[in-house]
Amino acid sequence: MGGAVSAGEDNDELIDNLKEAQYIRTELVEQAFRAIDRADYYLEEFKDSAYKDLAWKHGNIHLSAPCIYSEVMEALDLQPGLSFLNLGSGTGYLSSMVGLILGPFGVNHGVELHSDVIEYAKQKLDFFIKTSDSFDKFEFCEPSFVTGNCLEISPDCTQYDRVYCGAGVQKEHENYMKNLLKVGGILVMPLEEKLTKITRTGPSAWETKKILAVSFAPLIQPNHADSGKSRLVHLPPVAVRSLQDLARIAIRGTIKKIIHQETMRNGNGLKNPPRFKRRRVRRRRMETIVFLDKEVFASRISSPSDDNNNSEDIEEERHEEEETKPSELKPDPPVNFLREKVLSLPLPDPLKYYLLYYREK
């Protein structure tokens, strides 16, 4: 058992390690990973393992290893306004990170087989919206989840710009998955024990790229023993935003621009407080196969440090520790400037709370 990257002490340190190992490579993906604390999706008694690069499973609840989610997010090439379908949406952790990138005019749908997991995902989504300051740093495309077998999606459903399947896809279902995509869309799924990226370049044209060796639990086949009939999964309709919603999005966007302009003039305010510099972890060059619970993947960790440089590294670490000693006090918690600005506006309280999505914090 082992992870592809070192365990972190908190979510930021986990993301630092994923960046160092080149699993996170773009700023958009990094921002989404930092905005949502992975531990929030664990049951309380298992949170000590949240920042390890390992998969976690408890009953029907399952989270893939962070390095797997990193590769998936990077491969999907997400952009604001796209439509996304998550097959086997689970806890909603991935769907919520995707929603931060899609923005208010995207589409974010998930299909999950187990109804108890759907309830768990809704609770976690509600907790994020009500309590996380990260929510106000983005315009969020809230995911919608439906219960059902993702192999029984209604044939008249809309096609999507991006599709991810979080279970092993058998070869006979490859075309079924491809047909969920629009032309120009990207599908990422475990296919024949490889995390695979498929781009639809035309009505009948595809480009395929193998990303990483993986082993996921296979998709569960539909069971029609009871009724003998297929139970079609009907995905949520693509709803048009109400005028009230559009006004809220526009007002929040305008306030953010004002805050940004004030920050540029004053040279402070919106910038996140600097994180403390961590001791650098030395690793020997290695290529390994990592076994996780129902997942296995090839580690690509490779570091230039070796035994010949140990003395230099030790001296550098000692110097870094001396530099950080005066700053070991915890920084002040970051200020939610959007919330403060909205609350200071000369508006009726119900309108202020509407602009803040009735959030608790």
> How much is the pLDDT for 341?
93
Residues taking part in catalysis? 64
Domains of the chain: 65-239 (3.40.50.150), 242-272+335-360 (no CATH)
Question: For residue 336, is it left (φ>0), alpha (ψ between -120 and 50) or beta?
Answer: beta
> How much is the pLDDT for 321?
57
Question: For residue 90, is it left (φ>0), alpha (ψ between -120 and 50) or beta?
Answer: left
> How much is the pLDDT for 309?
52
> How much is the pLDDT for 313?
57
Whole-structure pTM value: 0.81
Span 118-152, pLDDT tens digits: 999 999 999 999 999 899 999 999 999 999 999 99
Residue pair 135/97 in contact (Cβ under 8 Å)? The answer is: no
Alpha helices in the chain (DSSP H): 11-20, 27-35, 66-76, 93-102, 115-131, 174-178, 243-266, 310-324, 337-344, 349-355
User: What tokens appear for 284 in the block?
Assistant: 């020997």
> How much is the pLDDT for 8?
82
Give every residue of the chain whose pLDDT is below 50, as ranges. 1-2, 269-274, 276-277, 279-307
